[in-house]
Amino acid sequence: MADLHIKSLLRAGPGIDLSKIDTSATPGFEGDKDAGAELLAAGADEVAGLQEQLFAASRFGDTRSVLLVLQAMDTAGKGGIVRHVVGSVDPQGVSIAAFKRPTPEEEAHDFLWRIRKRLPAPGLIGVFDRSHYEAVLIHRVRGLSTLEEVEGRYPVILDFEKELVAAGTNVIKVMLHISRDEQKARLAERLERPDKHWKYSPGDVDERAYWDAYMDAYRVAIERTSTDDAPWYVVPADRKWYARLAVHTLLLDALRSFDLEWPKAEFDVEVEKKRLAAT
């Protein structure tokens, strides 16, 4: 199990300077890749077990859930986080929503409309692969909305997340932070490998021209929406194994904080044993 110290080291908020964060660092962890992978594997059963307890509790009225929000520049490894961090959990206990370009129907609604429909049910670990933050990230950078519209969304997001937390959802917001050079190397690898071509789109190169504007949009989003209730964590992600370990640690911490117990039987166990024996 990774040192939960990671949590405080990665916490981000006002005053964040993304350009000063070493994206290849491994804050709070001294070990190497193998040690990191081992630690992740060692904690996988605990995450799965706690999720089962959370699910069991939900069957008896407990409304709690976890929502892991993943935001990142392309190639930063969101998919790998889902596979390696959440992959050990019972698939029935996970609810994954990938938010791509909105459909015309989605665009006709408020930006939270499609988000609300995909919130995790009680007992589940929800994962948002991109999220409502797209409405203040790509929309800000590429002018998909007016600046005035974008500005109006931060307070709406704050209210929305406050509501989620009040309803029992532990909200973990993660920015996977890679360097511009690391992205270049990863895109180059996709071009080298025919089995990765399907993941590549020429638009990925165009987007690189907006790197600094994206970093600024992330800064603004983090400064304005990192609250005690729903904090942002900036996870250095040039080393995939570290990013996975860090997000695993955040998730494990959230589940532990629930202080879960198995629900008590609402029936008389001895009576039921006799009834069953008679069948």
Q: Which is nearer to its own copies, 108 or 265 (CB)?
A: 265
3-state secondary structure of 38: helix
Q: How far apart are CA 54 and CA 61, in angstroms?
A: 11
Interaction with its own copies in 61-100: which residues (CB under 8 A)?
A: 79, 82-83, 86-87, 90-92, 94, 96, 98
The crossing angle, in degrees rounded to 10, of helices 147-166 and 211-225 is 40
Q: Check residue 14 for interaction with its own copies (CB under 8 A).
A: no
**DSSP H or E run through 189:** helix 180-192
Name beta bridge partners: 273.
Answer: none
CB of 221 to its own copies, least distance (A): 24
Indicate whether 209 belongs to the interface with its own copies (CB under 8 A).
Answer: yes
Q: How near is the Cβ of 130 to its own copies at its closest, in Å?
A: 12
Residue 178's closest CA among 81, 35, 252?
Answer: 81
**Which of 9, 21, 25, 56 contacts its own copies by CB under 8 A?**
56
**What element of type H or E holds 171?**
strand 169-177
Nearer to its own copies, 37 or 96 (CB): 96
CA–CA gap between residue 128 and residue 169 (Å, rounded)? 13
Minimum CB distance to its own copies, residue 50 (Å): 13
Asked if 105 is part of the footprint of its own copies (rule: CB under 8 A), the reply reads no
* Residue whose entry in the numeric block shows the structure tokens 């969101």: 78
In the chain, the amino acid numbered 11 is R
Of 181-200, binders to its own copies (CB under 8 A) are 184, 187-188, 191, 194-195, 197-200
| Residue 205 is a binding residue for its own copies (CB under 8 A) | yes
Restricting to residues 220-259, name those near its own copies by CB under 8 A: none
Sign of the CA dihedral running 14, 17, 22, 23: positive
Binding mask 108-127 for its own copies (x = CB under 8 A): -------------------x
Q: Which of 79, 61, 83 is nearest to 70 (CA)?
A: 79
- Residues of the shown chain interacting with its own copies in the complex, contacts defined by CB under 8 A: 56, 59-60, 79, 82-83, 86-87, 90-92, 94, 96, 98, 127, 129, 184, 187-188, 191, 194-195, 197-202, 205, 208-209, 262-265, 267, 269, 272-273, 275-277, 279
